[in-house]
Amino acid sequence: MPKYKCKNGDCKLYDEVISMAKSRITIVNGTAIDGNDYCPECKQERELLREGGMTVNIAGTNDQRLRMERQ
């Protein structure tokens, strides 16, 4: 279960750990984009708290990688 913490000192959710039931990660131009990256309150990027067992590598075929590079 991913957990996030807002890094914006002006936000009322600052430094509060929020657990999400699930997270969706998409690859855009070779960069992993997490659907929960931004704080719902202040809309600033927040920190993902990594725990043991979380996925850190994403694999694909060479054809997929080359297709992303051409776009």
Overall average pLDDT of the 15-35 stretch? 81
Q: What is the pLDDT of residue 14?
A: 95
Asked if residue 9 has pLDDT above 70, the reply is yes
**Residue 48 pLDDT:** 84
What whole-number distance in Å separates Cα of residue 9 and Cα of residue 5? 11
**14 to each of 6, 10, 44, how far by Cα in Å?**
5, 7, 11
9: exposed, middle or buried (Cβ count in 10 Å: 0-12, 13-18, 19+): exposed
Give this prediction's pTM: 0.63
At residue 17, the pLDDT reads 93
- Average pLDDT score over residue span 43-62: 74
- Return the residue matching tokens 């690859």: 27
**pLDDT for 63 beyond 80:** no
